[in-house]
Structure 1
Amino acid sequence: MTVVSVSMPESLLERIDGFADDHGYTGRSEVIREAARNLLGEFEDARLEDRELMSIVTVLFDYETTSVEERMMHLRHEQEDLVASNFHSHVGDHYCMEVFILDGDLEDISTFVGKVRATQDTLSVDYSVLPVEDFAQSLA
C-alpha cells in the first residue's frame, strides 16, 4: 500500500484519533481510507445519473471569515445556470449560513458541492439531492 503524507490541523487529527478509538478502527489511516471511499462514492449513485435533480446545499462559516462569503458569492455567479436560489442568514452571534438551491444534473451538482467543500474555513457543508420527478410525485 502506498503511503501518503497529508497536512491537517492538530485539532482535526485529534478528532480523527478519537473517532478511531471510539468506533473500533485500527488507526487514523483506516478512518481516512473509509472517509475517502465515502467521499468518492457519494455521487456515484446510478439512480441519479441522467436525471434532472434538485439539491439543497448548506454552508456554515464564521461571520468574520469574509473569504468564505466572497467565495460563495463567486460560486453563485459562476454557476448561475445551476443555482436556482440562494440566501444568506445569520446564525447565532458568530456564524453565517449560506443556502443554495440547485437545479441540474449529477455532474454539475457534484462539481458545485466539491468547490464548496474545497473552500477553506468552512465549518460545515451539507447537501441533499432528489430527482425532480420524485419530488413532483411526493407532492401528488
Structure 2
Amino acid sequence: MERITISVSDEFAAELAAFMASERYDNRSEAVRDLARLGLERARIDHSISGDCVATLSYVFNHHTRELAKRLTDAHHEHHGQEVATMHVHLDHDSCLEVAVLRGDAAKVREFAKTVIAERGVTHGQVSFVPVSIDVAAHTHGAASRGHAHAHPKI
C-alpha cells in the first residue's frame, strides 16, 4: 500500500473529524479513502460526458487575491462563446460566489471549468453537466422570425 501525506487547514481537519464521527470511521485513512473514491467516481461520470452539453460552473474565491479578478474575467472573455450567463454573489468581506451557465462542447466546457477552479484564490469549485443536443432553427416567436439555438436535454 502506498502512503500519501497531505496538509490541511485546521478547519478542514475539524470538518473531517466531524464527518468521521457522524459516519463512525475509526481512522482518518479510511475516511479519506472513501471520500476520494466518491470524488473519483464523480470525476469519471463527469469525464464520460461528450458532445454538446449545458453545465453550471460554481466557485468561491477570495476577491483580495492578487490579480485573481482580472484572471477570472480574462478567462470568461476567452470563452465567451460558451458562456450563457453569470451570477456574482458577495458572501462576506473576502469571499465571492460565482455561478456560470455554460453551453457547448463538453470537452471545451470541462477545460474552461478546470482553468477557473485551478486558479490560485479559488477555494471551492464544481461543475455539473447535462448532456444535450443543440439545434439552430428559424421559427416564429410572435411576429418575429429568427434563428437561434435550442438545447434539448438527452434522456
Both structures adopt the same fold (TM-score exceeding 0.5): yes
Q: 72-81 vs 2-11, which deviates more?
A: 72-81
State the distance in 1 between where 2:110 and 2:53 align: 11
Q: 65-74 vs 32-41, which deviates more?
A: 65-74
1:28-58 deviations in Å (ceiling 9; x for gaps): 2223222322323324238953331010112
Would you say the 8 A contact 2:50–2:107 is kept in 1? no
Would you say the 8 A contact 2:117–2:126 is kept in 1? no
What's the counterpart of residue 77 of structure 2?
77
Would you say the 8 A contact 1:17–1:27 is kept in 2? no
Higher strand share: 2
Identity of aligned residues (%): 22
Higher helix share: 1
State the distance in 2 between where 1:119 and 1:47 align: 20
Rate the CA distance shift 1:113–1:47 in 2: closer, same or farther, 3 A. Answer: closer
Would you say the 8 A contact 1:53–1:105 is kept in 2? yes
For residues 1-140 of structure 1, the aligned pairs below 5 Å read 1-45=1-45, 49-91=49-91, 94-133=94-133, 136=152
Q: 97-106 vs 50-59, which deviates more?
A: 97-106
Which has the higher relative contact order, 1 or 2, with Cα contacts under 8 A spaced 6 or more apart? Answer: 1
Would you say the 8 A contact 1:48–1:106 is kept in 2? no
Rate the CA distance shift 1:43–1:81 in 2: closer, same or farther, 3 A. Answer: farther
- Runs of 4+ aligned residues of structure 1 deviating over 4 Å after TM superposition are 91-94
- Tell me how many residue pairs correspond in the alignment: 138
SS where residue 4 of structure 1 aligns?
A: coil
The TM-score, its normalising length taken from structure 1, stands at: 0.72
1:42-76 deviations in Å (ceiling 9; x for gaps): 24238953331010112223443454423322321
The TM-score, its normalising length taken from structure 2, stands at: 0.66
Unaligned runs of 5+ in 2: 135-150
Unaligned runs of 5+ in 1: none
State the distance in 2 between where 1:46 and 1:118 align: 17
SS where residue 42 of structure 1 aligns?
A: helix
State the distance in 2 between where 1:58 and 1:97 align: 7
For 1:61, give the aligned amino acid. F
What's the counterpart of residue 137 of structure 2?
none
SS where residue 57 of structure 1 aligns?
A: strand
